[in-house]
Amino acid sequence: MEDDTPPAESLLPYDQWMEESLRHVIVRAVRHAATAGLPGKHHFYITFRTDYPGVILPARLREKYKQEMTIVLQHQFRDLVADEVTRTIGVTLSFGGVSATLTVPLEAISAFVDPSIQYGLRFNVRMPDPAEAAPMPAPAGDGPAPKPEGTPQVVSLDAFRKRKD
């Protein structure tokens, strides 16, 4: 006799806990690269959502990579840091000969790959509710600030003018 009862749905978020643990693998790998360098032929491809709240990158890169971007940490990078308190990775890279500093929340990362050993992780990026998200800052001095979303409001200045009687 077979039991055709479907398995019970978990009331615990095991998938989320597992992803959080695997994101810690990224932190450890980046921290190792930041302090000891990348050994042998190891290098990292990190893919992340550029539209995720808290991602900081120059406006020119945000314009070019509106939703997703992959960076390569191999030969030329500096100021690499993995911060467990802020849950971010920071790095300075060169794009077209121009240095750019990026800050990426761990939750924005959708893939981490070390192709030298065919190791890779994929993540589900859960975008926060837009009403709760803070605006994405752009580094100072790198072009205009992002335009606010929504319908522009027209304000009449007539109510504020002094009238000549």
> Per residue, what are the HEC states of 80-94?
EEEECCCCEEEEEEE
The region that residue 66 occupies, defined by phi over 0 for left and psi between -120 and 50 for alpha, beta otherwise, is alpha
What are the pLDDT digits (tens) for 77-124?
999 999 989 999 999 999 988 999 999 999 999 999 999 999 999 999
Which segment of 63-77, 81-95, 136-150 scores lowest on mean pLDDT? 136-150
Residue with tokens 């509710």: 129
- Go through the domains of the chain in sequence order and give each one's CATH number: 14-129 (2.30.30.220)
144 in helix, strand or coil? coil
Mean of pLDDT values over 30-50: 94
| Banded model confidence at residue 131, pLDDT cuts 50, 70, 90 | low
Distance between CA atoms of 134 and 128, rounded to whole angstroms? Answer: 10
* pTM of this prediction exceeds 0.75: no
Is pLDDT of 138 > 90? no
Q: Which tops the pLDDT comparison, 159 or 56?
A: 56
Count of all residues that appear for the chain in the document: 165
The candidate with the shortest Cα–Cα distance to 106, out of 52, 64, 57, is 52
| pLDDT at 26 exceeding the cut of 90 | yes
Give the distance, in angstroms, between the CA of residue 111 and the centroid of all CA atoms in the same chain. Answer: 11
